[in-house]
Structure 1
Amino acid sequence: MARIVFIGAGDVDLMRRVVSDLFLASPLRGRLEIVLHDPDPGRLATAEALARTLDAEAGARAVISACADRRRALDGAAFVVSHVDLGGFEATLRDFEIPHRYGLRQTIGDTIGIGGIFRGLRTIPYFVDLGREMAGLCPEAWLLSCSDPMAMTGWAVLEATGFERFAGVCHAVCDTHAYLADLVGRELDEVSFLTAGLNHQSFVLRFEAAGRSLYPELDAVLAADAELGRHVRMEMYRRFGYFPTQSSEHAAEYVPWFMRHTAETARLGVPMEEHLRRLGQSMHVYEETRRALSAGRPLLVRWQHQEPAAAAILAVLTGQEKEVYVNVRNRGLIGNLPDGCCVEVPATANATGIRPRPVGELPIQLVALNRTFLNVVELTVRAVLDGDRRHVYHAAMLDPNTAATLPLPDIEAMCDELIKAHGDLLPEAIRA
């Protein structure tokens, strides 16, 4: 029986989708142990009730338990699916409100940018502790992280803990593949893709059918629909030659050319402070789930495309080979990005495990964008692992959107204010 542990199971929307995919796989009927962990007792109880409801609907015959003790939950795990948001809505609100007073605009703020830096400062220590616990309690398990900022937490876990089986999994690549296939009027299984880079800043390097590039067809679609082209990712595609995986509201924050220009954000439809709206929606989903459980309504999710975490687990447990995209340590997987950073590449998942595949070197203009992104990632990781507050300032000063908007004294003052506001959520050495 495979023990699958959900860390942050109180995010019932993600847990529901992953567990639904697992429970609908008939080869795993009667073979799964689902262990749920969340520090919030109310959310943990809701997650357990949801898992039992999904099990009953699917007839999965899984063994289900809720565990408030994280170490006990991890003991003997085969897979750990994590989704955590340290500090929750209140911390994210501070990440937006304080920079807003300085004139710095954000949309999502969870990857790089000021919001991503401070989310990283809160989240990296949690994942380093989790990686160390897994190295001792379940060293053969895979840590499938669905948490942002993925490039930061992955780098930190892989460097600081000795635990190698970290694989960040994200919707962005598979969603982009489906989107591109649809734009050119193709079935997804007709199209061959190769995508690589960093989480939230990867690029579609190959977009083909029957050995022929579909990029000319995409160009024709864009030329015929001017409105379709009014998005950041389309602008990035036109300028850099390869389609980016991340949505426009994300992608706008990772470069210096959009967020500080009101006319550009209006032209390209970039919503301000979008993440706060999404967090409100997530809280609504949680309450809706509780109401659905009370009313006895069906909750099993039947998606056309599996959740990335579920797809990886199913491939390993059933032996039915599948390509998945993962965020893992760069050991020559992308030749012109630094070894040790956390890169997003295709992997083959089957009964032998999850094996990332090398993709060679990225086009020079793409790797230049990735290096700019990695400056912020590496400095945030170093701030935590080295306990050096100065690197918080350095990360912010080198962040493209922040640097394009604010002078150096304001950047430092803003960081000081955020450090004070987050208080105990940040490592002690950063607060000192």
Structure 2
Amino acid sequence: MKIAFLGAGSVEFTQGLLTDLFGFPELRERSDLEIALHDINPDRLETAEAAARYIAAEKGAGGALKITTHLERRPALDGADFVINIIQVGMIDATRTDFEIPARHGLRQTIGDTLGVGGIFRALRTFPVLDGIGRDIAELCPDAWLLNYTNPMAMNVWYLAAATPVKNVVGLCHSVHWTMHDLAQLVGVPLEEVSYLAAGVNHQAWVLRFERAGESLYPLLDEAIERDPGLLRRVRVDMYRRLGVYPTESSEHSAEYVPWYLHSDQEIERLRLPVGAYIGISEENVRRYEATRDALRAGRPIAVEATMEYAPQIIHSIVTGTPRVVYGNVVNRGLIGNLPAGSVVEVPCAVDALGVRPTAVPDLPPQCAALNRAYVAVNELTVRAAVEGRPEYIRHAMMADPNTAASLTVEAIAELCDDMVRAHGDLLPEPLRSRS
């Protein structure tokens, strides 16, 4: 069994996923297990290999385990059964561009990896690489499951489904799991006693049911908020109190997907919004990578901590037939009736030896569907810009984006679009490199 990691130089993510994978005896003890690590950066690839070997030893992976490294993608994919995609095109320099140019135009962002100007351009510079990945998988491992972690999740999965020949793809994100983990703590109920149903779009799904033994836990959540007024200074709590349904992503993320908060100094102060936070997060990620690299080179120990990510659970379920339910991002083919067909939605998925099978859910509450449809509109225009080679759709996507539209005039949006196209240059699909 071969598991390929694309973007393995994202060492912290690779560490967690390998720790989870090797935590399953049925996987770590296989005599045919190969971990194929691919990255285009030799330094990061060397560090990823050292981390993989360290974690394998710590977790007692079998002596037959094969770890291979590849600066070229195709050998890593050749014969793979599972492909885990964790690439980041442009790395921290592109992230700085995603924040600094919009900020000069007066646009505030917090994370910028899912929607908005940052999300749009992160998608557009990722799509050309996804083209190559899709073609290579179709040729070298057509039955493999592509497990995508790369953001913007919904746009990338939509593009993979619409523009590449990949057959089996699901986008994975931990936001639903950790939201329910945190909500269970907030209401004082053990997570294993909680039953829940969430659905929507990635980073803007909704907790439709939150129960213990068939009784709603939402009243306990209301009581917790009443006891702690400080919770009212969180965007997701503010949204919950106004919409009646709890969102499944952090306040920093959630603030960017609606038109209500980031254009206002008063709301930024009231809700303690960390404008530009992702630049600092990215810089910290670089420092962590360097610390891991230096520790491995010096023979010092590194962290080996389980992460509860979905990809290892999916691999385990498909290989062993163990049934599970995970949350996945998949094409909406009758899964959520009041969101557009063909868009990418986040829903519960059954997993076993037959693969990943999305589950249809009831229609979302109309107020939630309305917000999701605005999100989907930005996704659609961004994907269509690349698929159809229509640069004007980039500007249209920015015009449709809730936070951008609430913050800038339409002429300012056009000027910002031109500046971003120039700045990202050759990373964009070739037909989109001219101004719209």
| TM norm structure 1 | 0.98
In the alignment, what sits opposite 1:346? Answer: 348
CA distance in structure 2 between the partners assigned to 1:277 and 1:377 by the alignment: 26
CA spacing shift, 1:297–1:316, aligned 2, 3 Å:
farther
2:426 maps to a residue whose letter is: D
Root-mean-square deviation over aligned CA pairs: 1.1
CA drift at 1:256 = 0.4
Does 1:112 pair with 2:115?
Answer: yes
CA distance in structure 1 between the partners assigned to 2:68 and 2:29 by the alignment: 15
Does 1:100 pair with 2:92?
Answer: no
CA spacing shift, 1:113–1:414, aligned 2, 3 Å:
same
CA displacement, residues 82-110 of structure 1 (integer Å, 9 cap, x when unaligned): 11111111111111111111111110011
CA distance in structure 2 between the partners assigned to 1:255 and 1:394 by the alignment: 17
1:39 maps to a residue whose letter is: I
1:351 maps to a residue whose letter is: A
| TM norm structure 2 | 0.97
Matching of residues 398-413 of structure 1 within 5 Å: 398-413=400-415
CA spacing shift, 1:177–1:369, aligned 2, 3 Å:
same
Does 1:4 pair with 2:6?
Answer: no
2:205 maps to which of 199, 202, 205? 202
Aligned identity (percent) is: 51
1:372 maps to which of 374, 385, 400? 374
In the alignment, what sits opposite 1:65? Answer: 68
Q: SS state of the match for residue 168, structure 1?
A: strand
1:74 maps to a residue whose letter is: L
In the alignment, what sits opposite 1:33? Answer: 34
Does 1:148 pair with 2:151?
Answer: yes
Q: Which moved more, 1:195-204 or 1:124-133?
A: 124-133
In the alignment, what sits opposite 1:288? Answer: 291
CA distance in structure 2 between the partners assigned to 1:47 and 1:179 by the alignment: 31
CA distance in structure 2 between the partners assigned to 1:84 and 1:22 by the alignment: 19
CA drift at 1:155 = 0.6
In the alignment, what sits opposite 2:78? Answer: 75
CA drift at 1:294 = 2.3
1:418 maps to a residue whose letter is: M
Contact 1:28 1:318 in 2 (8 A): no
Aligned length, in residue pairs = 430
Does 1:233 pair with 2:236?
Answer: yes
CA distance in structure 2 between the partners assigned to 1:136 and 1:419 by the alignment: 32
CA distance in structure 2 between the partners assigned to 1:27 and 1:219 by the alignment: 43
CA drift at 1:360 = 2.4
CA distance in structure 2 between the partners assigned to 1:69 and 1:113 by the alignment: 32
Matching of residues 273-352 of structure 1 within 5 Å: 273-299=276-302, 301-303=304-306, 306-352=308-354
CA displacement, residues 24-61 of structure 1 (integer Å, 9 cap, x when unaligned): 21122332210000001111111111111111111202
CA spacing shift, 1:300–1:310, aligned 2, 3 Å:
farther
Does 1:357 pair with 2:356?
Answer: no
2:308 maps to a residue whose letter is: Q
Q: Which moved more, 1:54-63 or 1:411-420?
A: 54-63
CA drift at 1:342 = 1.0
1:209 maps to a residue whose letter is: R
CA distance in structure 1 between the partners assigned to 2:345 and 2:167 by the alignment: 14
In the alignment, what sits opposite 2:217? Answer: 214
CA distance in structure 1 between the partners assigned to 2:138 and 2:404 by the alignment: 37
Gaps of 5+ in 1: none
CA distance in structure 2 between the partners assigned to 1:334 and 1:297 by the alignment: 49
Does 1:128 pair with 2:128?
Answer: no
In the alignment, what sits opposite 1:23? Answer: 22
1:125 maps to a residue whose letter is: P
Contact 1:124 1:152 in 2 (8 A): no
CA distance in structure 2 between the partners assigned to 1:419 and 1:29 by the alignment: 45
In the alignment, what sits opposite 1:414? Answer: 416
Q: SS state of the match for residue 229, structure 2?
A: coil
1:278 maps to a residue whose letter is: I
CA distance in structure 2 between the partners assigned to 1:141 and 1:378 by the alignment: 26
CA distance in structure 2 between the partners assigned to 1:98 and 1:300 by the alignment: 36
CA drift at 1:298 = 3.2
CA distance in structure 2 between the partners assigned to 1:331 and 1:368 by the alignment: 19
CA drift at 1:300 = 5.3
CA distance in structure 1 between the partners assigned to 2:394 and 2:5 by the alignment: 31
CA distance in structure 1 between the partners assigned to 2:122 and 2:149 by the alignment: 14
CA drift at 1:129 = 2.3
CA distance in structure 1 between the partners assigned to 2:171 and 2:300 by the alignment: 32
CA distance in structure 1 between the partners assigned to 2:49 and 2:256 by the alignment: 37
Matching of residues 419-430 of structure 1 within 5 Å: 419-430=421-432
CA displacement, residues 342-372 of structure 1 (integer Å, 9 cap, x when unaligned): 1101111122211111112111111100000
Matching of residues 162-201 of structure 1 within 5 Å: 162-201=165-204
